């Protein structure tokens, strides 16, 4: 951490700052300039985390220089992408994995039809929400355990491993009993109780970026899960909230290569929520894979017009087939398989 002192700081004030820092086991290094005095703090910066430096007389500004995450940082894993196996597929390897399925599990019939179809087109996982977070308390919020049972049966038939969302720490174990991968949704990226809970389970976690989360926030959320012992985390960029009114969210594509440099965790994209419109799913998918994404999660519904949620952004079964066919060349261009 670097502390910049106000112009006119007194020698007593400067000494006091150094004492505070050194009392925490760090060393200090003072550079006195004409206009500013700089105090470099050397050692374990995290010990300074809770200290309200700006409250100390003479301090003008404070600059952390260490990354606040450790387990999620790139060099923790000797600079290679962590592999996260789900079923018999693996995130973080050569293949881009595509998870596909409806927003909500609506009934067994539609799930079976969807599962068979997306499996045939090359999807690696089946997605579907049994517990649904909804902005309005009056909206359909999922079939709960009945939905999980349906997912498990469709997995049995299709061989596709299943990813589904956990909303409440009390449901985490139940869901882990059915699902192959646990999704933490956008609205829960900083639900720390939930992050700790899935950190204690031995199930891979799909962690979606919060709507207004910085990439550092996202990595710290992963750190919560990892610090409890579960290192199987896949990150997902799904669009952020900005002034742009034309689309549901703003797809922060550059997050993908930024994260690939900053962390060893696999990174995927959700083109369905990012754009919020069916006709944007294909171009956003191509772009994500071109930018280095390790996979995609895509909403697919056998009859989007009648979908109970997210129908506007769901692909039809045929639409998904077309996407997978067209995506192949982009994956190859990126040196990947599907």
Stretch that binds its own copies, among 107-115, 119-127, 175-183, 235-243 (CB under 8 A): 235-243
Which residues in 163-182 contact its own copies (CB under 8 A)? 167-170
Question: Least CB distance from residue 70 to its own copies, whole Å?
Answer: 8
From the list 230, 161, 237, the residue with the least C-alpha distance to 194 is 230
Question: Least CB distance from residue 52 to its own copies, whole Å?
Answer: 2
Question: Least CB distance from residue 248 to its own copies, whole Å?
Answer: 10
**24 binds its own copies per the rule CB under 8 A:** no
CA torsion angle 200 206 209 210 (round to 10): -60
**31 binds its own copies per the rule CB under 8 A:** yes
Q: Which CB, 87 or 302, lies closer to its own copies?
A: 302
Residue 312, classed as helix, strand or coil, is helix
Q: What is the sign, positive or negative, of the torsion defined by CA atoms of 147, 151, 152, 153?
A: positive
Task: Answer whether 224's CB lies under 8 Å from 195's CB.
Answer: yes
Question: Least CB distance from residue 95 to its own copies, whole Å?
Answer: 17
Q: What DSSP designation does 86 have?
A: E
Biggest CA pair distance of the chain: 76
Of 95, 113, 152, 211, the one binding its own copies (CB under 8 A) is 211
Residue 273, classed as helix, strand or coil, is helix
Q: Name the packing angle between helices 215-227 and 192-199 (round to 10°).
A: 40
Which residues in 98-157 contact its own copies (CB under 8 A)? 133-141
Q: What DSSP designation does 187 have?
A: G
Q: What DSSP designation does 70 have?
A: S
Stretch that binds its own copies, among 80-88, 144-152, 155-163, 183-191 (CB under 8 A): 183-191
Q: How far apart are CA 177 and CA 201, in angstroms?
A: 10
Q: What are phi and psi of 258, to 5 degrees?
A: -60, -50
Q: Which CB, 35 or 202, lies closer to its own copies?
A: 35
Q: Which CB, 184 or 234, lies closer to its own copies?
A: 184
Question: Least CB distance from residue 301 to its own copies, whole Å?
Answer: 9
Which residues in 215-234 contact its own copies (CB under 8 A)? 215-217, 220, 223-224, 227
Q: How far apart are CA 242 and CA 251, in angstroms?
A: 10
Of 13, 81, 90, 190, the one binding its own copies (CB under 8 A) is 190
Task: Answer whether 23's CB lies under 8 Å from 41's CB.
Answer: no
Of 162, 175, 256, 268, the one binding its own copies (CB under 8 A) is 256
- Which tokens in the block code for residue 316? 């039809």
Which residues in 191-210 contact its own copies (CB under 8 A)? 191-193, 195-196, 210
Q: How far apart are CA 248 and CA 52, in angstroms?
A: 38
Question: Least CB distance from residue 62 to its own copies, whole Å?
Answer: 9
Which residues in 274-313 contact its own copies (CB under 8 A)? 274-275, 277-280, 283-284, 286-292, 304-305, 307-312
**243 binds its own copies per the rule CB under 8 A:** yes
């Amino acid at each position: 951490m670097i502390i910049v002192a106000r112009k006119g700081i007194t020698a007593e004030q400067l000494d006091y700052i150094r004492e505070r820092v050194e009392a925490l086991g760090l060393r200090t290094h003072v550079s006195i300039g004409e206009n500013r005095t700089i105090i470099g703090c050397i050692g374990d910066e995290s010990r300074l985390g809770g200290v309200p430096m700006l409250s100390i007389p003479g301090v003008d500004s404070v600059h952390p220089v260490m990354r606040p995450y450790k387990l999620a940082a790139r060099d923790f894993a000797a600079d290679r992408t962590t592999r996260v196996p789900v079923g018999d597929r693996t995130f973080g390897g050569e293949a881009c994995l595509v998870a596909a399925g409806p927003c909500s599990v609506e009934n067994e019939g539609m799930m079976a039809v969807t599962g068979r179809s997306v499996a045939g087109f090359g999807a690696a996982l089946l997605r579907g929400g049994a517990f649904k977070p909804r902005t309005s308390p009056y909206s359909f919020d999922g079939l709960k355990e009945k939905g999980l049972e349906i997912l498990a049966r469709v997995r049995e038939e299709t061989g596709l491993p299943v990813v589904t969302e956990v909303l409440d720490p009390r449901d985490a174990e139940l869901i882990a009993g059915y699902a192959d991968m646990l999704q933490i949704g956008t609205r829960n990226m900083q639900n720390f109780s939930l992050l700790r809970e899935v950190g204690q389970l031995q199930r891979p976690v799909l962690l979606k970026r919060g709507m207004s989360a910085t990439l550092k926030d996202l990595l710290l959320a992963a750190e919560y899960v990892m610090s409890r012992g579960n290192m199987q985390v896949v990150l997902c960029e799904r669009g952020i909230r900005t002034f742009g009114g034309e689309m549901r969210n703003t797809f922060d594509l550059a997050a993908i290569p930024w994260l690939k440099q900053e962390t060893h965790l696999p990174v995927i994209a959700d083109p369905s929520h990012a754009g919020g419109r069916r006709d944007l799913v294909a171009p956003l998918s191509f772009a994500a894979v071109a930018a280095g994404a390790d996979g995609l999660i895509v909403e697919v519904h056998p009859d989007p017009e009648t979908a109970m949620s997210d129908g506007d952004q769901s692909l039809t079964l045929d639409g998904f087939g077309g996407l997978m066919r067209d995506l192949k060349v982009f994956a190859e261009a990126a040196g990947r398989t599907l």
